[in-house]
Every structure is written in structure tokens, then in C-alpha cells.
Amino acid sequence: MTTLSQDATRPAEAAEQTTPEPVLAVRDVHIHDRAGDREIVHGVSFDLTPGKVVGIVGESGSGKTLTCRAALGILPEHFEISAGSVTVDGTDIATLTPRQWTRLRGSTVSAVFQDPASYLNPSLRVGAQIAEVLRVKTGLKRREARRRALELLEAVRLHDPELVYGQYTFELSGGMLQRVLIAAAIAAGPRVLIADEATTALDVTVQAEILDLLADLRESTGLALVVVSHDLAVVAQLCDEVLVMRQGEVVEQGPTRAVLDAPRHAYTRLLVDEHESYGLDRFLAAKTSEDPEATKALKALKALKAVKEEAA
Ligand SMILES: Nc1ncnc2c1ncn2[C@@H]1O[C@H](COP(=O)(O)OP(=O)(O)OP(=O)(O)O)[C@@H](O)[C@H]1O
Ligand SMILES: [Mg+2]
């Protein structure tokens, strides 16, 4: 039921919705490799407002991961942001001390990568590792941290959170590990989650489930996402905006539907052509309609991919 006071708050909310502040703003970022004395990434820009999903696609070595690492403030040793800026919640990260940035990371911008096992300690129970993140990042006491970790395991749709809590990495499948890692990544309530090829190593069904989970988190918590993938279908399913990278350049950028429906750059056209047989059209159509349709299209995509993989 709508009350008068709720009505009274509406105009302010509406105003907020029309001009949301970006949680993460990447502005014309150039990345330089001091060791090889060359520029690797030649200017990437995007804004992430709450609930927005930006996709980065492109061939291997095009600079997708370095761009993500720049946004996370964890570039490899001899790399630096040589021009442009990364702003998190209005603060230019270049102005932060490593200590300040570490505090911000996890609680504002978090990430999951391709190989979940390597980010977890094989000799500790996975639940305890999530609880530890909670204790360090949010200051929860032991018992509370355990309770919250169980909630997170449930939120990432692991069927028996109590059981999984007490298990070790070797006891879990790749899909389960990726869910555990997502649980750890969202433990401190970040506003941005960067998923760099987070589903690439998983089989298509599990991949679809994880993407579905990310879409759900976005819906339910307003989490903004950066999704890096080789797979245009992944991007079509999830992203509002897409950047197509090639050799450190953004060759095309725009609303996902516009870019994939009418690619302007030859390289994007090539990517789209490669995906014709994956049912990208139906996927795109489904994204704009009701949920059941999207689900059907997703099933069709999975089936098509499975057939293609079997043939290969
Ligand atoms: N730690 C590193 N040391 C040296 N060169 C690196 C390092 N990381 C990346 N590079 C180089 O920077 C370029 C961009 O790499 P990046 O990892 O960002 O590509 P990518 O688009 O993520 O590729 P992929 O799709 O294979 O993950 C590549 O030429 C790569 O060789
Ligand atoms: Mg990469």
C-alpha cells in the first residue's frame, strides 16, 4: 500500500535515478609497460552506476585484464596508469595510499577471476575463508561471521550451505568453487564486482547458472558489474553497455543491443558473425522481453552450444 510519506519521497528518488553518480569511473585510461617501454592500453573509458553492467570483449592480449586490474588498483609490477584516471565513489584512486586503497577494495570494488581454486587456500575450509574475509573487512565477531558466511553461501545458491562451509576446495566442483569465490567477493558488500572471464573455465550449463546468479545479485542488491568475456553471448545476456577491445584500443563501444545489432567495426562484425549459430538474435530479442522468454532463449543457447561443442 502506498502511503503519503512514501509518495512525498518520490520526486527526490526520481531525481536520483536520472543522474546517478558513477561508483566507478574509468576515464581515458592508458596503461604503460615500463619494462618494455610501450603503451599497452590506449585509452579506455566507462562509467558504472549502481546496477549497471558493462561488458568488455576482445581477442586474447587486447588489454581486458590489464584494464580490470587498473580499475582494481592492482596492475602488475612494471605497469602503470600513464594517463587518464580511475575514480571510485568520487575519489581518484591515484590519490590513495596503498593502505587506503586496500581498505576500499573488497568493500567497494571487488573481483572474481577465471581460476577460483588459485584464490582459495586448499588447507582451510571454504566457509572459514569467507568468515575470515567478513571478520577482516566488516569487523564481525566469529559467530556472526559464520552466520553471515552461511547466508552468503545460500545467496550464491549452493544447495547445502552448512555442508559446503565445512568442505575443502578439492571437494568442490569448478562451478561450486566459483560460487564460493563470488560469495567471498561480495562478503563485504561491494558496489562493483569485476568478473574477468569468471565463467570461461566452466561448462556451458554451469556458466549459464553463474551468469544468472550475477544478474540476480544485480537485481537484488544494485551491484554494478564489469563482465569480461571472449563470448559475445555472455555479454548479450548480461550487459547494458559493451566495449570491444583490440590490441589495446577500444574499437567500438555503446549500448549492447545497438553494438551487436549493427556492429560498425569490422572486428565486431567478425565477433558477431562467429556467434550467429549460437542464436544471438533470439538471445537479444529475449533480453528485452519478459523473463520466461529470456529463460527459453538461454536454454536454446545452451543446447546450441552443446551441439557445437560436440561437433568440434
Ligand atoms: N604481467 C605481465 N607481464 C608482461 N606482460 C603482460 C602482463 N600482463 C599482460 N601483459 C601483456 O599485456 C597485453 C594485454 O594483456 P591482458 O592480460 O590485459 O589481455 P587480455 O585481453 O586480458 O587477454 P586474454 O583474453 O588472453 O585474457 C598482452 O600483450 C600481454 O602480453
Ligand atoms: Mg585476460
State pLDDT tens for residues 140-157.
Answer: 999 999 999 999 999 998
Name the least confident of 69-73, 116-120, 286-290. 286-290
pTM of structure: 0.83
Chain centroid, CA 14 distance in Å: 27
Place 115 in a pLDDT band, splitting at 50, 70 and 90.
Answer: confident
- From the CA of 56, the nearest ligand is 1
The residue with greater pLDDT, 27 or 302, is: 27
Q: What is the mean pLDDT of the chain?
A: 84
Contact 214, 195 (CB under 8 A): yes
Contact 255, 241 (CB under 8 A): yes
Ligand 1 pocket test: pick from 66, 229, 246 the residue with the most ligand atoms within 8 Å of its Cβ: 66
d(CA 209, CA 175): 9
pLDDT at 196 over 50: yes
Q: Where are the domains positioned within the chain?
A: 22-274
State in Å: Cα 9 to ligand 2 middle.
Answer: 44
Question: Residue 52's closest CA among 290, 225, 207?
Answer: 225
Could you give the residue ranges of the DSSP H alpha helices within the chain?
4-18, 64-72, 98-104, 126-138, 142-155, 161-165, 174-186, 204-221, 232-238, 256-261, 266-274, 280-287, 291-311
For residue 98, the model assigns a pLDDT of 84
Q: What is the CA radius of gyration of the chain?
A: 20
State whether the beta carbon of 61 lies less than 6 angstroms from ligand 1. yes
Contact 256, 85 (CB under 8 A): no
What are the pLDDT digits (tens) for 16-43?
456 688 999 999 999 999 999 999 999 9
What are the pLDDT digits (tens) for 216-244?
889 988 999 999 988 888 888 889 999 99
Report the nearest-CA residue for atom 14 of ligand 1. 63
Average the pLDDT over 114-136 and give the result: 91
CATH number of 22-274: 3.40.50.300
| Residue 233: CB atoms within 10 Å | 25
H or E segment to which residue 42 belongs? strand 38-48
What are the pLDDT digits (tens) for 262-281?
889 888 888 888 776 555 55
Report the nearest-CA residue for atom 30 of ligand 1. 61
State whether the beta carbon of 76 lies less than 6 angstroms from ligand 1. yes
